[in-house]
Amino acid sequence: GAGVSQTPSNKVTEKGKYVELRCDPISGHTALYWYRQSLGQGPEFLIYFQGTGAADDSGLPNDRFFAVRPEGSVSTLKIQRTERGDSAVYLCASSQDPTDTQYFGPGTRLTVL
Amino acid sequence: QKEVEQDPGPLSVPEGAIVSLNCTYSNSAFQYFMWYRQYSRKGPELLMYTYSSGNKEDGRFTAQVDKSSKYISLFIRDSQPSDSATYLCAMMGISNFGNEKLTFGTGTRLTIIP
């Protein structure tokens, strides 16, 4: 079966612009996670969805970051007024239930010029 | 101080050697321990998943967890050039949500020399 997919694979934008990053989880997985990985670092948690609701958004760095999962499947991470410090790989993961393994997508590499 | 500490390496070993990777942590609430492998420009791929203390073996890979010392290890036997990657330890507790975020180490970059 298909794994977690993320689009686009690469995104280059200018400082101040708005971007949307998309995640398609594994079919049937109710839990969805967003992480951010900076160069030479491990992934850092951003937000966790259980179904349609954001169960834990404690990792979002500020109010420029927002994520939705309106139908409990696909999720979109939205970043307003992008800054150069937002440049990183944004990873999405999904799991079948809260205690199950998290399976990661290939990530979206965001570069803010 | 970070919750999870991992030596970033780089670590280079000859093909066929035994590789030892490890992490220490400070949060006693962590109960689930994982090792992920990440190739360049790819997402992390789960290698081992362990609950609480003890050993777990899967093929050439062995994971060890010592909760009393807050120390986890991954051993790779008969290392192959295809094992060259970054190895990330990850940990998770249990929250009111029934699950919790993974907390990762920085990753150790491993190269197996043919």
Q: What is the pLDDT of residues B22-74, one digit of tens each?
A: 999 999 889 899 999 999 999 999 999 998 888 999 999 999 999 999 999 99
Chain segment A23-64, per-residue pLDDT in tens: 999 999 999 999 999 999 999 999 999 889 888 899 999 999
Query: What are the two backbone dihedrals, phi and then psi, of residue A82, each rounded to the nearest 5 degrees?
Result: -55, 145
State the average pLDDT over residues B80-97.
88
- According to DSSP, residue A26 is labeled P
Query: A86: which 2 tokens?
Result: 């937002």
Minimum CA–CA partner of B40 in chain A: A106
Position B101 scores a pLDDT of: 84
**One-letter identity of residue B48:** M
The full set of domain ranges for chain A reads: 21-101
Closest by CA position to A35, among listed A25, A26, A44: A44
Position A1 scores a pLDDT of: 55
- Chain A residues with CB under 8 Å of B45 CB are 104
Cβ count within 10 A of residue B82: 8
Position A48 scores a pLDDT of: 92
Could you tell me if A67 lies within 8 Å of chain B, comparing CB atoms?
A: no
Residues 9-48 of B with CB under 8 A from A: 32, 34, 36, 41-46
Mean pLDDT, chain B, whole residue set: 92
List CB contacts of A106: < 8 A, sequence separation 6 or more.
A5, A6, A9, B41, B42, B43
Minimum CA–CA partner of B34 in chain A: A101
CB pairs under 8 A between A and B: 65
Is residue B79 within 8 Å of B61, Cβ to Cβ?
A: no
Smallest CA–CA distance, residue B78 to chain A, in Å, is 26
What is the rounded distance in angstroms from the CA atom of residue A21 to the CA atom of residue A67? 9
- Chain B residues with CB under 8 Å of A29 CB are none
Position B93 scores a pLDDT of: 81
A26: left (phi over 0), alpha (psi -120 to 50) or beta: beta
Domains belonging to chain B, first-starting first, are 4-113 (2.60.40.10)
Position B29 scores a pLDDT of: 87
Could you tell me if A66 lies within 8 Å of chain B, comparing CB atoms?
A: no
List CB contacts of B28: < 8 A, sequence separation 6 or more.
B67, B70
% of chain B exceeding 70 in pLDDT: 95
The architecture in CATH of the region A21-101 reads: Sandwich (2.60)
